[in-house]
Amino acid sequence: MLRWLWNPRSWALALPLGGCADDGPTGAASTSTSDATSETSSSSGGATSLCEDEGWYPETADEGAEDTSLGMGDDMPLPFTVEQVQRGEAASGARIAIAGVITVTPAAPSEARPGRELFVQDPAGGPYSGLRVVSGELDLGELLAPGDQVDLVGEVISYRGFVLLEIVAASDVLRVGPSVLPEPTSVSIDELAAGSPSARQYEGVFVQVVDATVTDTAPCDGEFVLDDILRVDDRFVPGQLVMPSDGARVSSVRGVFVRASGSYELAPPEREALQ
């Protein structure tokens, strides 16, 4: 397929802690309820946590915006913004184009589907501005690095209120050039709590929380919990975070707010993100 057929820059866009997720995908579907908020209502409970990922996206997505044949199987993908995708305006299974997003994290083994994943974000930031990008066929880390601006074409995968973009071919990843990481969106830790009505809008978004206390130092390998609310995971910088002691005060931590298996986690993209 010729690049000019899909290059999204050629279009004017109108545009709870629970189980741990350390061991990569298994391909099994989540057994949680279908509501995106109620799925995240379990407590942190380190002793009862499962330090394994369940591969919480099924092989066949079953939920999304109203079905349409446009962009599904056609050569020409439909243009969307990240916010439109996160709000469910792109049909599950649709082939879409997203232009000018910034790569926020390194690539890491996906904890949603087989393959590797990273997160991208609209430069403006804010609610609904971040998105998980997965590829089972490519090593996205060989194509992109944090700070790269990129145009993407892929298939929307939607399941139980959460979405990702699945990339199949290297030709669907167009690195526009270097950029800078967006500033993190400042949020309170309570806004990210399991079951909070505001949590879903920050899924995939680069956020920052301040002035929190470490309440669990070993829920899983490479993780700790803040204020009995928010799990912090070193998935993008394995073994590089300086793990704080129990009761320590964390002045600031930045990371992508990640939907994990049955929970949310905060995943710093670099070791300096924890202070």
pLDDT tens figures, 34-90: 345 444 444 343 333 456 555 656 655 544 444 444 455 557 999 999 999 999 999
Q: Domains of the chain: which residue ranges?
A: 3-8+49-178, 185-273
The pLDDT value given to residue 120: 99
- Domain 3-8+49-178 and domain 185-273 have a common topology: yes
Which parts of the chain have pLDDT scores under 70?
Answer: 1-74
pTM for the structure as a whole: 0.80
CB 11 within 8 A of CB 37: no
The pLDDT value given to residue 247: 98
Identify the burial level of 273 via C-beta atoms within 10 angstroms of its C-beta, where 0-12 means exposed, 13-18 middle and 19 or more buried. Answer: buried
In terms of DSSP bridges, do strands 162-166 and 130-135 run parallel, antiparallel, or are they unpaired?
A: parallel
The pLDDT value given to residue 111: 84
The pLDDT value given to residue 59: 57
From CA 244, how far away is CA 275, in angstroms rounded?
10
Three-state secondary structure string covering the chain: CCHHHCCHHHCCCCCCCCCECCCCCCCCCCCCCCCCCHHHCCCCCHHHCCECCCCCCCCCCCCCCCCCCCCCCCCCCEECCHHHHHCCCCCCCCEEEEEEEEECCCCEECCCCCCEEEEEECCCCCCCCEEEEEECCCCHHHHCCCCEEEEEEEEEEEECCEEEEECCCHHHEEEEEECCCCCCEECCHHHHCCCCCCCHHHCCCEEEEEEEEEEECCCCCCEEEECCCEEEECCCCCCCCCCCCCCCEEEEEEEEEEEECCEEEEECCCHHHEC
The pLDDT value given to residue 206: 99
The pLDDT value given to residue 56: 57
The pLDDT value given to residue 208: 99
What tokens does 72 get?
């599904």
Neighbouring C-beta atoms of residue 4, cutoff 10 Å: 7
Among 209, 216, 274, 211, smallest CA distance to 245 is for 216
From CA 159, how far away is CA 165, in angstroms rounded?
12
The pLDDT value given to residue 231: 96
CB 90 within 8 A of CB 65: yes
The pLDDT value given to residue 272: 95
The pLDDT value given to residue 31: 32
The pLDDT value given to residue 74: 55
CATH 3.30.70.1350 fits 3-8+49-178, yes or no: no
The pLDDT value given to residue 161: 85
Class of domain 185-273: mainly beta
